[in-house]
Amino acid sequence: MQQHLIQVSFDEYQDINALNVGDANLLHAAREAIDLSYAPYSRFQVGAAARLINGIILKGSNQENASFPAGLCAERVLLSICSSLYPGLPIIDMAISYNNQLGVSNKPISPCGVCRQSLSEFENRVNHSIRLILGGTQGKVFIIDRATDLLPLAFSSADMK
């Protein structure tokens, strides 16, 4: 038997004011995208903003549905927007923020498992990592260098060959 260790590292900032201007602007855009959310069931609004390699910033938000499996997370909405409007163009970084209408929104949240898989697939497809900036509407901010760091041992197209 051989044992392996998987570790994830990330940078933690006290709040948005500790970020560089570009990161702060992208997180502000994600916070603005929260207002585009349709979340009448969970009351948990999520906004995401992506900066493409050409400098364009696009926004997406979660879209719920009374048939719960039919809803979409903000990250997957945003990936669809990016790949539809700018096919094949890498995303440099993505900021994700949220507003929990039933509680507080003062700590970073991380993408769900399906979004982690989708982010990993997008990175593989365009052959470029996506840096993640995670924060609520206030409080600490986490920065993760590569979205794939959140999904070690991911299933990918290489596994299907």
Is 7 inside any structural domain?
no
CATH number at residue 57: 3.40.140.10
Q: List pLDDT tens digits, range 87-98.
A: 999 999 999 999
Is 161 inside any structural domain?
no
69 band by pLDDT with thresholds 50, 70 and 90: confident
Is 9 inside any structural domain?
no
Calpha distance 125→131 (Å, rounded): 15
> What is residue 53's predicted lDDT score, i.e. its pLDDT?
98
Q: List pLDDT tens digits, range 97-156.
A: 999 999 999 999 999 999 999 999 999 999 999 999 999 999 999 999 999 999 999 998
Is 160 inside any structural domain?
no
Annotated catalytic, 75?
yes
Predicted structure pTM score: 0.96
- Give the total number of structural domains in the chain: 1
Is 10 inside any structural domain?
no
> What is residue 88's predicted lDDT score, i.e. its pLDDT?
95
Q: Which domain holds residue 136?
A: 20-155
Is 5 inside any structural domain?
no
Is 87 inside any structural domain?
yes
Is 82 inside any structural domain?
yes
Nearest to 109, CA basis, from 133, 129, 128: 133
pLDDT of 68 > 90? The answer is no
Q: Which residue in 64, 75, 121, 123 is the catalytic one? A: 75
List all residues 6 or more positions away from 100 whose beta carbon is below 8 Å from its beta carbon: 43, 44, 45, 136
